[in-house]
Amino acid sequence: MIDFEEEIKRFKPSLDVEEVEDAIVKSDLTDMTDLMMELMKEQQR
């Protein structure tokens, strides 16, 4: 059987949509567009 008291103790709520958006926006991730822009800048030099 499920021990609900134990499950409640271990429960960690997921982030709200706004918190997830903030976490994604604040992370400095390099994507393919960033890489292509950097390559284009280097070629122009």
The answer to whether 15 and 23 have CB atoms below 8 angstroms apart is yes
Residue listed under structure tokens 């997921």: 14
Domain membership flag for residue 20: yes
What is the extent of the structural domain holding 36?
15-44
Does residue 7 belong to any structural domain of this protein?
Answer: no
- The rounded distance, in Å, linking the Cα atoms of 16 and 14 is 7
Q: Report the number of distinct structural domains present in the chain.
A: 1
CA angle, residues 32, 37, 42, in degrees to nearest 5: 125
Q: Is the pTM of this model over 0.75?
A: no
Q: Does residue 6 form part of some domain?
A: no
* 21 domain residue, yes or no: yes
Residue 26 lies in a domain: yes
User: Is 1 within a domain?
Assistant: no
User: Is residue 9 one of the residues assigned to a domain?
Assistant: no
* pLDDT tens track for 5-38: 999 999 988 878 788 877 777 766 777 888 889 9
